[in-house]
Amino acid sequence: MRTAAQPTATGLEAAQPVVVTQSPFKERAQAALCDRSLRQSFRGAMDFLTAKRAGVFDDPAEWQALSQLGEHIRQRALSKLPDLLEQLEHRCQQNGIHVHWAESTEQANQVVHGILAQHQATQVVKGKSMVSEEMALNHYLAERGVACLESDMGEYIVQLAGETPSHIIMPAIHKSKAQIAALFAEHLPGVPYTEDVDALIQIGRQVLRQKFLDAEVGISGVNFAVAETGTLCLVENEGNGRMCTTVPKVHIAVMGIEKVVEKLIDVAPLYSLLTRSATGQIVSTYLNLINGPRRPGELDGPQEVHLVLLDNGRSQAFADTQLRATLQCIRCGACMNHCPVYARIGGHAYGTVYPGPIGQIISPHLLGLQATPALPGASSLCGACGDVCPVKIPIPALLTRLRTEAARPANEQPHAMRGQGANANLRERQLWRWWRWLNTSPIAYRLLTWLLSRARHHLPKQLKPWTQVRTLPRPAPKTLHELMRQRTGRTS
């Protein structure tokens, strides 16, 4: 169990408990599959998003060229990551941005809280940031008496509900209009029940507007950080990101170290891929390019800007040439929208900040395989996630690699991941060794298949857990070798 701040009509007043289930993935997935309302919400939302994306990528040649360019930009940046991070730090400092490094989420939270303490800040507004979710920043600050209000409408809704986001682009996608209407009527004094979407949006904006003016500090994420110029790029649609980064006196940006790109010109194709893949938009409503605090003579902007660079396991992925592709992600969520597993169980069933296919390949680095043993296996490996990835991350291949790492004995070298061997099973390894011997020994193989074909009516009909969702295949009356010998007239 962890705690979160309790929203009221005017802000956040106290920490209240939020239940975070610790049940195994299979139990959470089974519960989600039995939730009819949840499945309807996700089915409708996924169909809508996939149709919107298809509409803006209607030229296959243009899609291939742009995604190849995006892949090249991300791979080039990752190939120079240590140097680009140092260049980014230098350029940001030249621009007047204070740069902080954090190896863990605990260090990142301490940095943010230290800045708030320097300014005696007790009220913070926050734009949408998955890294801050990774840090559990709201929870950390609430425990220290700082109210942190989510200003993104979806994040605000899940904060009101005491939940966590179920999608990295649309955090409240699991909720229906009726559920949001009931939530507002329950938690916001004087607000009547209404399912009018425009009215619900206006209610949320009215609550949030004054908080932008009252907050001492604004916190945001970063979509891309440009090493060449020290520019922080923030993509959004609601304008809350711009309010968070310009109205309060202090702006704190938090980002994973993989978000850096080499040149400003690299942003344009990545931005196009991001907005079209995420929401089916040619462009987003806002693209914020932040180059530092307010200059003399400027009428708005923060007086102080801080950038927190978080590692939290990303160096582990960077060190392995195959797993490094995980860091190419631009957080568009397209893999989730097209995943048949995610579309049926939703985001909360994964039990991690990043759900869906991208969560299955990034979470084992952030948390270790010992904390995420079921995630690499929670996929049909249909390949849809890899096909729609705008920067060509080979997600199915990475999932297969993670399954291998989870099954390898913990003491086997090389040791590429924390939690290696989380799913290691001596009986299973011996079974596979026997299977390999059987399939490379012709006499043993023919003898066994002959015995199975003759004993086909005496084999068990149930073979749990395989037959829980499948029909047990029955061997044929004659083996393939026997049939071929009959066809060719050979006797042996």
Domains assigned to the chain: 19-56+333-423 (no CATH), 78-316 (3.40.50.10420), 426-488 (no CATH)
Whole-prediction pTM value?
A: 0.88
Q: What CA–CA distance (Å, rounded) separates 160 from 186?
A: 10
For residue range 15-67, list pLDDT tens digits in order: 343 334 456 899 999 999 999 989 988 999 999 999 999 999 999 999 999 99
Among 5-19, 199-213, 243-257, 403-417, name the one with the lowest average pLDDT: 5-19
Do 255 and 308 form a contact (C-beta atoms < 8 A)? yes
Read off the amino acid at residue 82. P
What mean pLDDT comes out for the span 478-482? 89
Q: Strand (E) positions, 121-216?
A: 123-126, 147-150
pLDDT of residue 130: 95
* Count of helix runs (H) and strand runs (E) in the chain: 21, 12
pLDDT of residue 247: 93
pLDDT band per the 50, 70, 90 thresholds, residue 77: very high
* Residue keyed to tokens 């003759």: 454
Between CA 249 and CA 218 the distance in angstroms is: 8
CA distance 166 to 349: 9
Burial pattern 11-46, b for ≥16 Cβ within 10 A else e, equals bbeebeebeeeeeebeebbeebeeeeebbebbeebb
Smallest CA-to-CA distance from 379 within 364, 398, 404, 396 is with 396
Q: Rounded to an integer, what distance in angstroms lies between the CA atom of residue 214 and that of residue 469?
A: 55
pLDDT the model gives residue 188: 86
Higher pLDDT, 68 or 205: 68
Tell me, what's the pLDDT at 471?
84
pLDDT digits (tens, 9 = 90+) for 293-347: 999 999 889 999 999 999 999 999 999 999 999 999 999 999 999 999 999 999 9
> Would you state the pLDDT for residue 4?
42
Alpha carbon of 137 to those of 1, 112, 166, 355, 463: distances in Å? 15, 9, 17, 18, 46
Q: Which pLDDT tens digit goes with each residue over 106-150?
A: 999 999 999 999 999 999 999 999 999 999 999 999 999 999 999
Residue 105 is predicted with a pLDDT of 97
Instruction: Give the amino acid at 294.
Output: R
Return the pLDDT at 12. 44
CA distance 332 to 329: 8
For residue 1, what pLDDT band results from cuts at 50, 70 and 90? very low
pLDDT at 120: 95
Determine the straight-line distance between the first and last CA of the chain, rounded to whole angstroms.
67
Mean pLDDT of 186-194: 87
Query: Contacts from 395-401 at CB under 8 Å and sequence distance 24+?
Result: 395/335, 395/357, 395/358, 395/360, 395/361, 397/322, 398/322, 398/323, 398/325, 398/326, 398/361, 399/357, 399/360, 399/361, 401/322, 401/323
Least confidently predicted of 12-26, 31-45, 162-176, 258-272: 12-26
Please, what is the average pLDDT of the chain? 91
Q: What is the pLDDT of residue 208?
A: 85
User: Each residue of 204-232: pLDDT tens digit?
Assistant: 888 888 888 889 999 999 999 999 999 99
